[in-house]
Amino acid sequence: MDNPIGVFDSGIGGLTVVKQLMHYLPNENIVYFGDTARVPYGTKSEKLIRQYALEDAAFLDQFGIKMLVVACNSVSAVAIDLLKSTRKMPVLGVIDPGVEAAVQCTAKNKIGVIGTAATINSNAYYKKIVGLNPHIQVLSQPCPLLVSLVEEGWITEQITRLTIEKYLQPLLGDGVDTIILGCTHYPVLKEMIQQVVGEKITLIDSGKETARIVKDMLINLKLTRLDVRPPAVQFYVSDIPFKFDEIGTRFLGRPLADTQRVEFEKFLLKQGKKIYLPLQESN
């Protein structure tokens, strides 16, 4: 099936998910939307995040997507069920795949979760983990500075290593054997994080686990692309793409210079109130 996989995020971090999708599904067309005009989502109310989720998904709908991947922890935490109930295609967030992999991986029943303050405060990972196995101890640690360090490009600097060591000290002291990278920026720092925690601790990249599940779902649903022509990967943002291209090259691991800015407000005006009906029905 030639239709693309749709991926959206509140900004640029979701490109680490796209990178994994391109690795596991190199033949698939992908269209990505980063809502860079309204990033971050984590500081917004749940009601507003749910509204943004419907708007972002509606933008991707126009490309005839065959699957929707939510590469945003905030939306995955509070709006994934809403999206699943309003779409005819499969919908997958980044939290469940990472949680399932971590629960299967841990031998000591001690899992650490690192993420932005908003993600950690939502308790989304904690609820999912104990829902699968109530005997697992979950130790969560917000790491708010890491996003800024990644976007500055300070991937190998000593200040970044010292920051990681400071943040992860409580988790290491409590004896976790598995750590979920609960922010799509963090895979860019995976090598340094692994050096800090040591080889005995397993790092779970939610984007990688999400891509694996997407591949399995497309195969099982017979939705894989069989066309032998090179796939198309398109990138759209809701604000000026210059910084997006610059930082995105680090996230994607390849040059990114063809990003298109969309007049998102005009798009939403054309859609009218119909896309917000699910919000009214869920109240």
| Sequential DSSP letters for 69-130 | EE--HHHHHHTHHHHHHH-SS-EEESHHHHHHHHHHH-SSSEEEEEE-HHHHHHTHHHHHHH
Catalytic site residue from 12, 22, 72, 168: 72
Residue 243's pLDDT band, with cuts at 50, 70 and 90, is confident
pTM: 0.92
**Tokens matching residue 103:** 């629960």
Catalytic site residue from 183, 196, 211, 237: 183
Candidates 39, 30, 40; CA nearest to 3 is 30
Q: Which of 181, 206, 231 is the last residue of a domain?
A: 206
Q: Find the CATH number of the domain harbouring 239.
A: 3.40.50.1860
The pLDDT assigned to 48 comes to 93
Residue 283's pLDDT band, with cuts at 50, 70 and 90, is low
What is the number of structural domains in the chain? 2
Per-residue model confidence as pLDDT tens digits over 10-57 = 999 999 999 999 999 999 999 999 999 998 888 888 899 999 999 999
Active site residue 105: no
Q: Which of 147, 180, 206 is the last residue of a domain?
A: 206
| 116-120, 165-169, 199-203, 229-233: segment of lowest average pLDDT | 116-120
Enclosing domain of residue 52: 5-94+209-282
Please give the share of the chain, as a percent, with pLDDT higher than 70: 99
Same domain, 219 and 193: no
Same domain, 42 and 101: no
Per-residue model confidence as pLDDT tens digits over 56-73 = 999 999 999 999 999 999
Same domain, 239 and 109: no
Cα 76–chain centre separation: 8
Active site residue 72: yes
The pLDDT assigned to 256 comes to 84
Candidates 63, 58, 56, 75; CA nearest to 31 is 63
Q: In Å, how far are 206, 233, 235 from 53, measured between CA atoms?
A: 19, 21, 18
Q: How far apart are CA 121 and CA 115, in angstroms?
A: 9
